Structure 1
């Protein structure tokens, strides 16, 4: 497998624009339940309460994404990694901007020490 090409400053800026345009964080994994979305695993702007609330006892306006909607089977990944996918999505809201900042910080340090950065 070939090594990936270095990320350009323009590509980094595009990722940052996408992150900036998304719903503000933090995001949390929620375990919800109801007659229509039995076993709903969702990403929410509010933390999970541990009560597996049933609709209408949760605000659907807080949900950013879902990784499992069992009934009917609208969202149900074959590898059954609903919780893992939800955790990844929820933490990406915080971690992607941090990774962008870290890349820029490291590039700045390299440039300050006379090294050519890969973003040039």
Structure 2
């Protein structure tokens, strides 16, 4: 399992995304050149060429993207910010769930000292704790 990204790593990814040419990015090509365009940084709506790669006539031409790679690269401009937003949303959801689990665990502790039958309270609290432990275990997600 991959290690979770740190807040510093997410901040660095966001900074790179924010520093890149505005999107959307679109690839195009003709028989000799592959290009990637974004939106001009100062003139909204105007295309801005980000990359131009020769397809032939140069020793490095064979290393430039095939159509699927070109689409992937172009989509990254929108995909990276969307994925960052999803990471932040999921972390907030996780943190909220952890708060709810802690409150339920406190309730289970309270049950064991309540006025109801100690055996019944212990049984209920034990079942509740087992389910909470399972829900709180990060390896089960």
Q: Same fold (TM over 0.5)?
A: yes
CA separation in 1, counterparts of 2:54 and 2:90? 38
CA separation in 1, counterparts of 2:53 and 2:79? 19
Matches within 5 A, 1:87-106: 87-106=71-90
Higher RCO (CA-CA < 8 Å; seq separation 6+):
1
User: Which stretch of structure 1 is more off in the superposition, 94-103 or 106-115?
Assistant: 106-115
SS in 2 for 1:70: coil
- Gap change, CA 1:68 and 1:110, over 3 Å in 2: farther
CA separation in 2, counterparts of 1:112 and 1:81? 43
Unaligned runs of 5+ in 1: 47-60
Matches within 5 A, 1:21-60: 21-33=19-31, 38=32, 40-45=33-38
1:45 CA displacement: 2.2
Deviations 1:41-82 (A, max 9, x none): 221127xxxxxxxxxxxxxx82212465322243322xx852
Residues 32 and 41 of structure 1 are in contact (CA less than 8 Å); yes or no, is this contact kept in structure 2? yes
Larger radius of gyration: 2
Aligned to 1:13: 11
SS in 2 for 1:62: strand
Query: Greater helix percent: which structure?
Result: 2
Unaligned runs of 5+ in 2: 40-46, 100-135
CA separation in 1, counterparts of 2:80 and 2:62? 25
CA separation in 1, counterparts of 2:48 and 2:30? 12
| TM-score normalized with structure 2 length | 0.57
Aligned to 2:58: 72
- Deviating above 3 A after TM superposition, structure 1's stretches of 4 or more consecutive aligned residues are none
Equivalenced residue count is: 94
Aligned to 2:95: 111
